[in-house]
Structure 1
Amino acid sequence: MNNEFNSLQKDISQQFITLLQDWIPANSSIAIAVPNSYIYFHAGNHDIHFEVGRPVERGSIAHLVLQTKKRTDAILDNTLFETPHYGIGYPIYIQGTAAALVVVLPSATTTQKLEPYQFLTGKRDEEWNPVAIDKISYIESLQKRTWFYVEKNQFKTSITLKELQMRLPPFFIRIHRSYIVNIYFIKKMARDLTSNFIVTLKDGTELPVSQSYLNNLRNALEF
């Protein structure tokens, strides 16, 4: 098994890495996966601890490429990276084995391509309402749908939370897999009786902060 793995690594180096350096943006991250696991990873400018041999997550770009054998691109959530990034996956073959090559662009490159939203259009009852982005207190992913809230009114949008995170102004902070909050609507932050972190909004709404996103909130509000 080790000999086969080392052979794959050598083959990867010879076939792809030198070629990639000629066309991908500097500091991009590169991952290569064969069915079930990653066999190569280069972190670029992404701050992440990633071990070769990690299983391929269902629904990830690598998984989709391996299943469809087609080029796939998407905004990545935090399954591999702490903040969303734009990734492109390509079907390749290594020693006759189907594989996936995933290129994750530097966050600065992604930000330059995506202008921040100035408003969101949401559906309420049977009406569509454009809402200025700074009027939205928080955004929620619930039952595979995305909702945003304005003065206790709930609006539905077709844009996913991870897509929104790439194009929201910096005063929106991801605090949970299911929540993004506008920091101007935060009243206080505290731990509950079970030591979980809770954000309370000015209208009394309480939102949980997951451990994986707590640093986002601490860095943004400096506490």
Structure 2
Amino acid sequence: MEKGLVEQISRIMGDWLPKEASIAVAIENSYVYFKAGELDLRIQEGDPVPAGSVAEMTFKKKGKVERLVENSPLGFPYYGIGYPVEYAGQAAALVVMLPPNHILAKKPQLRFLTGKLEENWRPVPLERVTHIESSQKKTWFYSEEEAYSTIYTLKELRHQLPDYFLPVHRSFIVNINYIEGIARDVSSNYVLTMKDGSLLPVSQNYAGSIRELLGF
């Protein structure tokens, strides 16, 4: 691919993209261009397009892809926007990559969750949600002693919930307004007692951040 042409496109895109953005172009199964922004994923010309990357998703979908990649095969989490393009008759993907905490990567906060209870769907304000759980390949949230299933994954919700929701485990997000108490179990790990009586574990990965956020 003619590098001069790509660099021209990159400069034009730079007029509306933030300086933190990185830009990559892939044709078929390899990258042919990369311009690093604040987030340098160290992509080199000729590198293969890894499975699970936004570039690969764009090729498969043959349409625009926009998503947060937390377990990035490129080594760092990033928010990617992929556009299907064509060059010299070949399918190509133009990918814009941003730091995961960038304002453009953040989706609007949710104000309620719509959950399924038996055969009915019901919108529930977030203030009434005590905690959210990932179990058996489904996501559940709890309110007024009822358990609702939702179409969201825990990863998706983590970035769209208000700041009074805290991840405490890879399978749990809690509403701090419903924490009754915090104690240690026999293995010295923290356990949350919720106001509805639920006991939720705190994993080692989150213990430090929870102590800092809650101030104990």
Task: Indicate yes or no: 2:203 matched with 1:209.
Answer: yes
Deviations 1:177-211 (A, max 9, x none): 43322223343265863x7x544232242234363
* Structure 1 alignment gaps of length 5 or more: 1-7
Q: Structure 2 length as normaliser, TM-score? A: 0.69
Structure 2 CA distance for partners of 1:178 and 1:59, relative to 1, 3 Å: farther
Residue 52 of structure 1 aligns with which residue? 43
How far apart are the structure 2 equivalents of 1:99 and 1:189?
Answer: 54
Alignment check: 8 A CA contact 1:9 1:39 kept: no
Residue 83 of structure 2 aligns with which residue? 90
Aligned mate of 1:168, from 141, 150, 161: 161
Q: Structure 1 length as normaliser, TM-score? A: 0.67
How far apart are the structure 1 equivalents of 2:87 and 2:204?
Answer: 39
Task: Indicate yes or no: 2:119 matched with 1:126.
Answer: yes
Percent of pairs with identical residues:
36
Alignment of 1:29-178 (within 5 A): 29-33=22-26, 35=29, 40=34, 42-44=36-38, 50-52=41-43, 56=49, 58-73=51-66, 75-80=67-72, 85=79, 87-92=80-85, 99-104=92-97, 107-111=102-106, 114=108, 116-178=109-171
Alignment check: 8 A CA contact 1:174 1:216 kept: no
Deviation of 1:13 (Å): 6.2
Residue 17 of structure 1 aligns with which residue? 10
Deviations 1:106-136 (A, max 9, x none): 622344x61x322222111223333221221
Structure 2 CA distance for partners of 1:168 and 1:36, relative to 1, 3 Å: same
Deviation of 1:98 (Å): 5.0
Where is the helix percentage greater, Structure 1 or Structure 2? 1
Alignment check: 8 A CA contact 1:38 1:52 kept: no
Query: What SS does the aligned partner of 1:167 have?
Result: coil
RMSD over equivalenced CA pairs, Å:
3.9
Query: How many residues of Structure 1 are paired with residues of Structure 2 in the alignment?
Result: 205
How far apart are the structure 2 equivalents of 1:137 and 1:175?
Answer: 13
* Structure 2 alignment gaps of length 5 or more: none
- Larger of the two Rg values belongs to structure: 2
How far apart are the structure 2 equivalents of 1:94 and 1:216?
Answer: 47
Query: What SS does the aligned partner of 1:14 have?
Result: helix
Query: What SS does the aligned partner of 2:163 have?
Result: coil
